[in-house]
Amino acid sequence: MIDLFSDMHKDAFGFRPSAEAVESFATLPVERQNVITDDFQEKINENEEREKRFAQDAVVELREQIESIIKLGDVADVTFSRTSALRWMTAEEHFGHSQDVEHWVWEQGVLFTDFGKALVKELCTAWKV
């Protein structure tokens, strides 16, 4: 139960509990330990929902950014395909490996979304990584 407490504390708050907190938890009755881990699970669920919302917002923002670059190309009488827009957006990056691409997509906040996974593949193809 101590390992579960430590793991859930990290998932809920981003860091492991102190040794004192672990010792204190270990002395509690099982019923109280269950209440605490239930509270941790609720916090973990809230964190996951917040992260999903952030990722969804980031997907919308990145899609809009890509579309606006494509439209800028049209205004300048230059045809920008989606691939051209992505290459333009990432022109300052050095993608020597697919992990470099994944890092850039992660920085955009979308790596762990379906959109982000597809974007990694698309950028790897565009940059021949």
3-state secondary structure 26-43: HHCCHHHHHHHHHHHHHH
Q: What is the pLDDT of residues 51-110, one digit of tens each?
A: 999 999 999 999 999 999 998 876 766 677 899 899 999 999 999 999 999 999 999 999
Q: What is residue 72's predicted lDDT score, i.e. its pLDDT?
A: 85
Cα separation, 97 vs 16, whole angstroms:
33
Are the beta carbons of 63 and 52 closer than 8 angstroms?
no
Q: What is residue 77's predicted lDDT score, i.e. its pLDDT?
A: 65
Decide if pLDDT at 10 tops 90: yes
Please compute the mean of the pLDDT values over residues 43-49 and round it to a whole number: 97
Instruction: Answer yes or no: pTM beyond 0.85.
Output: no
Q: To the nearest whole number, what is the mean pLDDT of the chain?
A: 94
